[in-house]
Every structure is written in C-alpha cells, then in structure tokens.
C-alpha cells in the first residue's frame, strides 16, 4: 500500500478513506477523496455547498456505493460492502443534515428506539423495558436538555430541539464514531455554542466528525479541519492554517 499523505496511517486510523470516487450521471460528486481519522478525534469538515460533504457521509454509512476507492473501519472492515443497518451496528451513528426524528413518537420513545439493543424483529417483539434502560433514557434527556419534554411528541419540538434529540439518539446507540451533518443549521447563536460544547464533550471517548458551515462554530470546536472542494480534500490542518491558504480563501472563505 502506498503511504497516504493524510492525517493518520492506514493502520492507526479508525476511519480510513483512500482514493474514493463517486459520480452521478457523469458528475464527479466525490473525486479521489482521501481521509484518515483517529479514534477519539474531533474533526471538522468544511467546504462550499456541493463539495460532496453529505455524499462522503453517504458513502461511509453504506447509503451510497463508491465507484472506486477504499473505505476501511478499524483498518480491516470494508464499509463499502455493508448496508446502512450493518454500518450502524458496527458503531457508526449518523445525524442527517435535515433533522430527522420520529415525529409521531414521544421524545422518550425516540431515544428508546435508538438505545443500543438487539435490532431484530423477534427481539423487539418480545422486548420488555428495564430499569437500566429507563436510567439511560433519563441520563440522555439530561444531557441533551430535553428532560421537560420527555413525553412530548417529537413533532412539537423546535428545530434546534430536534437537532439535539437526533444527537441524543446517536448517543443512545453508544457509537464509536458520530457523523454529524450541519448540526448548527437553524440554531440561535447561543444554541450553536452549546452544541459545539456538547460535541467537544463527546469527543475523546468517541470519534466525532462534524460538517459545518458556521465558522464561529468551527472555531469553537477548536480541532483539526478538513476542507473539501469538488469532491476532494483541498487542505487539512488547524483552522488558522487552512484559512490562511489562498486556495481555500478562493473557493470558500472569500465568498
């Protein structure tokens, strides 16, 4: 294998993408993308609209198959062969760009469905609630600050609250890696900063990859930044490092 010119080596990386490409009707949404993320790392991915950030997450989570390239989990599991459910069961949680929760379920039931537990039909048919689950749900509700909304229908939450509920559902899965697509969209400044603090507190024990546009948010994360452009990595490093680069300013920051 050729040594990659990216953040971590293939062996050390928890998530490792190399030379990944995917086109839609001839348009290369992802074009030779390489990325390596280490366990416990907090990583921000930025880039203009259409850079391929969401598509990258689709490829990692089994929703979209790449035309070419390697996507490895823990150095040995080929993620491109797995479907969404299988990738999720490996411990990779994903938050969508548009907050997606189960609208007609209560906030509590949303979390209960996400709790790490057997996912088969028979297991859920015969499932009985346990005190341990109740305690985990209560703790999660505290963490995402939705304890007062426990019994509310998720449809009645505000946009920002839905974002948090969805992050809570990710945490309930007890994932090793969280992929978070534009969490601050539609949030107030205060909520944005709280979300950044929440994600920072999650990282370390888990790996967190965040896609975001809001530069104040990315600055608050205070982590390594990857700039995506036209489906490939344009720059990588600290926010100060990448935002000083002329090419990055050209395509992204200098708009």
Ligand X SMILES: Nc1ncnc2c1ncn2[C@@H]1O[C@H](COP(=O)(O)OP(=O)(O)O)[C@@H](O)[C@H]1O
Gap between the Cα atoms of 125 and 13, Å rounded: 38
Question: Is residue 85 within the footprint of other proteins (CB under 8 A)?
Answer: yes
From the list Mg ion, ligand X, other proteins, none, partner contacted by residue 104 (C-beta under 5 to 8 A by kind): other proteins
Question: Is residue 63 within the footprint of other proteins (CB under 8 A)?
Answer: yes
Which is closer to ligand X, CB of 176 or CB of 225? 225
Strands 15-24 and 68-73: antiparallel
From the list ligand X, other proteins, Mg ion, none, partner contacted by residue 29 (C-beta under 5 to 8 A by kind): ligand X
Q: Name the segment binding Mg ion (CB under 5 A); options: 32-40, 91-99, 152-160, 165-173.
A: 91-99
Residue with tokens 């080596």: 9
Q: How many residues bind other proteins (CB under 8 A)?
A: 32
The C-alpha torsion from 80 through 82 and 84 to 85, rounded to 10°, is -160
Chain residues that interact with ligand X, rule: CB under 6 A: 24, 29, 47, 49-55
Extract the tokens encoding 245: 């680069």
Q: Name the segment binding other proteins (CB under 8 A); options: 73-81, 105-113, 142-150, 241-249.
A: 105-113
- Give helix 159-172 / helix 189-202 axis angle, nearest 10°: 10
CA angle in degrees (0–180, nearest 5) for 68-71-74: 160
CA angle in degrees (0–180, nearest 5) for 225-226-232: 175
Q: How many helices (H) and strands (E) does the chain have?
A: 10, 10
| Interface with Mg ion (CB under 5 A), residue from 54, 110, 149, 163 | 54
Which is closer to ligand X, CB of 26 or CB of 254? 26
In the complex, minimum distance from the CB of residue 104 to other proteins, in angstroms, rounded to a whole number: 6
Question: Is residue 173 within the footprint of Mg ion (CB under 5 A)?
Answer: no
Gap between the Cα atoms of 96 and 104, Å rounded: 18
Contact residues: other proteins, CB under 8 A: 61, 63, 83-85, 88-89, 93-94, 96, 100-105, 109, 112-114, 119-121, 124-127, 129, 153, 155, 169, 173
């Amino acid at each position: 294998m050729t040594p990659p010119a990216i953040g971590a080596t293939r062996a050390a990386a928890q998530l490792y993408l190399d030379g990944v490409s995917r086109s839609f009707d001839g348009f290369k949404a992802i074009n030779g993308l390489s990325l390596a993320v280490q366990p416990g790392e907090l990583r921000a991915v930025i880039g203009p609209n259409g850079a391929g950030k969401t598509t990258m997450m689709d490829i990692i989570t089994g929703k979209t198959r790449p035309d070419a390239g390697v996507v490895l989990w823990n150095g040995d599991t080929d993620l491109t062969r797995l479907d969404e459910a299988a990738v999720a069961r490996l411990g990779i949680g994903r938050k969508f760009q548009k907050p997606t929760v189960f609208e007609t379920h209560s906030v509590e039931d949303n979390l209960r469905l996400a709790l790490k537990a057997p996912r088969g039909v028979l297991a859920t048919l015969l499932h009985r609630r346990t005190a341990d689950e109740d305690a985990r749900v209560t703790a999660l509700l505290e963490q995402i600050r939705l304890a007062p909304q426990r019994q509310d229908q998720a449809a009645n939450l505000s946009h920002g609250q839905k974002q948090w509920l969805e992050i809570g559902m990710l945490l309930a899965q007890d994932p090793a890696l969280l992929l978070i697509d534009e969490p601050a969209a539609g949030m107030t400044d205060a909520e944005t900063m709280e979300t950044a603090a929440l994600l920072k507190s999650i990282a370390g024990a888990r790996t967190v990859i965040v896609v975001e546009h809001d530069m104040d948010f990315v600055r608050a994360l205070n982590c390594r930044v990857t700039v995506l452009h036209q489906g490939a990595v344009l720059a990588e490093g600290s926010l100060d490092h990448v935002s000083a680069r002329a090419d990055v300013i050209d395509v992204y920051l200098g708009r």
